[in-house]
Amino acid sequence: RSTPLYSSAASDVYKRQDMENSVPIRELESRLMTIDEGARILRIKPATIRNWLSKKRLNPIKLCGKTYLDRLQVETLIRSAFN
> What pLDDT does residue 11 have?
46
Residue 68, classed as helix, strand or coil, is strand
Closest to 49 in 3D by CA, of 73, 29, 20, 16: 73
> What pLDDT does residue 62 have?
92
7-56: pLDDT as tens digits: 444 444 445 545 555 666 677 678 899 999 999 999 999 999 999 999 99
> What pLDDT does residue 8 have?
46
Query: pTM (2 decimals)?
Result: 0.64
Any idea how long the chain is?
Answer: 83
8 Å CB contact between 74 and 81: no
> What pLDDT does residue 23 have?
64
